[in-house]
Every structure is written in structure tokens, then in C-alpha cells.
């Protein structure tokens, strides 16, 4: 067992959320910010496997603000992160239009532009959408758009490193001891070049921690021990397992989401952004092809990276889209992948100090996870807000208290209904 350098703040998880927090902390003068991850490449990370959409068209005002502030940042660094303000187009039936009208005042108050279109304007904008009998129109967010999540993550990391933060690869958290003097973390050191199967197995093993705080010692001889002042759980789909190791309960669950890549000969979607069908299927142009997916509400809970292939594409993607456009009858499946969402009970993020459960953890344990598919969209603003909370005692950028993990026990859910 080896002793590592003592960080002031240890961040568990180097995806877009952990990297954004590291940048925000280091650029605000925090010393000894160290980010630990089993796989900095992130081949199984939600930061790598998501669809790349960013929007502020949410129902909850706080979620609107998180995205608005983040998208303002993305726009200021558009070339570095691949941001394009190409819009989100929600095709809606009458009930869907009524739901969006309920949120219009929230968007207007936040200064976020949206437009309600009738079917004629939708058809003029996207003439290939030619099966519209069930539609009342569409809602368009012109500043919503797309970016490259990998470029965004690398951007956050490079800025974090330039400000003094450190990123450590191949360390998987296995045990923790937290008391009034600080935090002791015990990691398993993974092999230098693990296969995909070995990575999946390592992550699955985290689910074997039976109860919060029940594992204090690393089972591996090739372990590293780290002492820190504070620790932050930014572990994305594995946040629930990491929470157990840190001694508290997390109410979120991880579920699979599948994405297909396909083409449609003779149809150029490059002028368009994200489009969402009332069936739940979303799609956008991707490197000359089309990327699309759907959140299956009956998907079983638990880690699963398997992609359903042609059967998934035909049943879940092609069928609804072929009923929306004559052009889409000719869609051709290429490939696809499965990734994970970490979903909270109200589909809003869990951010802040861990108020209950972590032993002697007051001021020691923090968390930022369970963004329920919205992590990239909220990443910059929530990183800054949590950094302010940790360094100054309170966030000036936005109110974090409604995101606290204790809100569920208090009956203060932040229920987000504008989800895809």
C-alpha cells in the first residue's frame, strides 16, 4: 500500500462534472485540488456517451438558470467546446403545447428566448416533417444547441490543470474513513491498460458495498491511501456506490440509455439542431449522419452498456420517425451504443454538502451528481456554484439549497418535467 500526496480537496470522478468543479475551485485559489478516476479516458463515462445537446428549456426555474449560465459560458468558448446555437425544436401535440405554455413565463423571466410555432411554420422550417396530423405545432429554442462533450471535458481539465489542479488515473475508490480530523480514502490501483470488460467488472464491483460505510479497508494489495481535508462525490452513474463508501445513502439510480447512429440518403440535416418528436425520440445531425435516441421509461435499473442493435433501432427509432416523415422511411442503421444516466427521484441534480449520514462529515463531504441526463448542460454553472459554496460558505452565482440531497426527506422535491 502506498501513500499519495495529501490533497486539500479530493474529487471522486473526472467526468465533465468533476472536471468543471476542479476548474472552478482551482481558479478561485483553492490549493491541493486532486481529481481521482479509474479511467480518465472515460470510455464508459456519461460525459463521452451522451448526445451532446444543451438547452435551457426546462420547467424548473433553477434548472433554466443552471443551463442559461452554462450556455453563456459555452458560447464564449464556442470554438474550444464545439458549441453551436442551432436550436432545440420540440414537436408537440395539443397537450404538449399546453405544457410548454405553462413554462413560457419562466423562460421569459430568465431572458431565454423561445418561440411557439403553428404547424405551417414548422413545415416551412423543416419541410421534410410532412406527417403532422397529430401535431399542434412546435416550440423552438434558438439559443439551445449542440456541443462536443469530450471537448468540453478537456477544456475544463486543461483550465483546471493550468490553475494547479491534478488529475490521477487508474484509482478506484474502495474504502473511506471520515472523522473530525479529515478524510482517509483507500483506492484500488487498476492495471495500466484494462480492457472494456475489466472496466465494466470493476465498476460493477462497487455495487457490492452492502450498506453505507460498511467497507473501510481496500481489499487489494495494490492500493493507495489518500488523506484529504474534504471529499466530493462527482462519480456520475456510480455516485450511489461511492456514497455508500463515503458513509451515506444516495437516492439516485443508474439506468441505461441507448443511442443509434443512422443515415438518410438525400436528406441534409446539417442546418438543424436537436429535434424531439412527441414519441420521445430525439435526433440531430452528427458528422454527416444522424444521431438519435429515446429514454425508455421501463428500462431496468442497473449498470448495462449493451446496445440493442438493429432490433432497438427498428422498433424504437425507425418506427416513430417513419411515422413523422416520408423521408425517414428510408433511414439506414449504422451502429450505436449504450450509456448510463444517474437519475434522481425528481430528475434534478443533487448538489451541495452532505447533511445527513456521512459520519463526522459536517463540512467534509460534498456531492455533485444525479443530473438525470442534464450534466453537460449544467456543468459550468454548477461547478462554479459548488466551488463558491465550498470556499466561501455560500454560492453567489445561484441558490444551491434546493439541490441538496436532503430535500427528498424534507418533502421538497425539485420535480423537473421537461425531460427527454
pLDDT at 222: 56
326 with 259, same domain: the answer is: yes
161 with 133, same domain: the answer is: no
109 with 246, same domain: the answer is: no
CATH code, 164: 3.50.50.60
Choosing from 312, 343, 374, the residue where a domain stops is 343
pLDDT at 2: 55
**CA separation for the pair 231, 234 (Å, rounded):** 10
pLDDT at 5: 56
Task: Give the structural domain span for 321.
Answer: 85-145+254-343
pLDDT at 218: 44
pLDDT at 1: 45
**CA separation for the pair 57, 144 (Å, rounded):** 8
Summarize pLDDT for 76-94 with one digit per residue, the tens. 999 999 999 999 999 999 9
206 with 157, same domain: the answer is: yes
Name every residue whose Cβ is closer than 8 Å to that of residue 207 and which is 6 or more positions away in sequence.
Answer: 241, 302, 303
pLDDT at 357: 73
**CA separation for the pair 161, 26 (Å, rounded):** 8
pLDDT at 219: 46
What does pLDDT average to in each consecutive run of 10 residues of the chain (420 residues)? Answer: 70 99 99 97 94 97 99 99 98 95 95 98 98 98 98 99 98 92 93 91 82 51 85 97 95 97 96 98 97 96 97 98 98 98 98 82 90 98 99 97 96 96
Contact 336, 260 (CB under 8 A): yes
Choosing from 320, 343, 366, the residue where a domain stops is 343
Give whole-number Cα distances, 234 to 11, 355, 366, 367, 369, in Å: 7, 16, 9, 6, 5
pLDDT at 334: 98
**CA separation for the pair 301, 63 (Å, rounded):** 24
Amino acid at each position: 500500500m502506498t501513500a499519495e500526496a495529501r490533497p486539500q480537496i479530493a474529487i471522486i470522478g473526472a467526468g465533465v462534472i468533476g472536471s468543471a468543479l476542479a476548474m472552478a475551485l482551482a481558479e478561485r485559489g483553492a490549493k491541493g485540488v486532486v481529481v481521482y478516476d479509474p479511467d480518465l479516458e472515460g470510455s464508459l463515462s456519461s460525459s463521452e456517451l451522451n448526445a451532446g445537446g444543451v438547452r435551457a428549456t426546462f420547467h424548473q426555474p433553477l434548472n433554466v438558470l443552471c443551463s442559461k449560465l452554462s450556455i453563456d459560458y459555452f458560447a464564449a468558448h464556442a470554438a474550444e467546446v464545439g458549441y453551436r446555437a442551432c436550436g432545440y425544436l420540440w414537436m408537440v401535440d395539443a397537450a404538449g403545447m399546453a405544457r410548454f405554455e405553462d413554462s413560457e413565463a419562466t423562460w421569459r423571466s430568465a431572458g431565454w428566448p423561445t418561440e411557439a410555432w403553428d404547424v405551417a411554420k414548422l413545415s416551412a422550417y423543416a419541410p421534410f416533417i410532412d406527417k403532422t396530423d397529430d401535431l399542434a405545432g412546435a416550440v423552438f429554442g434558438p439559443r439551445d444547441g449542440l456541443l462536443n462533450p469530450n471537448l468540453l471535458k478537456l477544456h475544463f481539465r486543461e483550465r483546471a490543470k493550468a490553475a494547479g489542479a491534478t488529475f490521477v488515473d487508474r484509482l478506484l475508490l474502495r474504502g473511506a474513513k471520515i472523522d473530525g480530523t479529515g478524510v482517509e480514502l483507500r483506492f484500488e490501483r487498476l492495471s495500466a491498460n484494462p480492457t472494456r470488460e475489466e472496466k465494466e467488472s470493476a465498476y460493477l464491483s462497487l455495487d457490492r458495498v452492502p450498506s453505507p460505510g460498511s467497507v473501510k479497508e481496500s481489499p487489494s494489495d495494490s492500493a493507495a491511501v489518500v488523506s484529504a481535508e474534504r471529499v466530493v462525490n462527482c462519480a456520475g452513474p456510480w455516485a450511489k456506490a461511492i456514497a455508500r463508501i463515503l458513509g451515506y445513502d444516495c437516492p439516485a439510480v443508474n439506468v441505461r440509455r441507448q443511442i443509434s447512429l443512422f443515415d438518410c440518403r438525400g436528406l441534409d440535416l446539417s442546418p438543424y439542431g436537436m429535434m424531439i418528436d412527441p414519441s420521445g425520440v430525439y435526433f440531430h445531425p452528427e458528422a454527416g449522419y444522424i444521431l438519435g435516441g429515446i429514454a425508455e421509461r421501463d428500462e431496468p435499473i442497473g449498470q448495462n452498456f449493451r446496445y440493442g442493435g438493429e432490433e432497438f433501432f427498428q422498433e424504437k427509432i425507425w418506427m416513430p420517425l417513419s411515422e413523422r416523415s416520408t423521408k425517414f422511411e428510408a433511414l439506414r442503421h449504422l451502429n450505436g451504443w449504450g450509456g448510463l444516466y444517474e437519475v434522481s427521484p425528481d430528475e434534478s441534480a443533487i448538489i451541495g454538502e452532505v447533511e445527513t449520514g456521512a459520519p463526522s462529515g459536517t463540512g467534509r463531504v460534498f456531492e455533485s451528481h444525479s443530473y438525470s441526463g442534464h450534466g453537460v448542460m449544467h456543468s459550468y454553472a454548477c461547478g462554479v456554484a459548488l466551488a463558491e459554496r465550498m470556499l466561501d460558505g455560500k454560492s453567489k452565482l445561484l441558490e444551491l439549497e434546493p439541490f441538496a440531497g436532503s430535500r427528498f426527506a424534507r418533502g421538497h422535491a425539485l420535480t423537473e418535467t421537461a425531460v427527454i
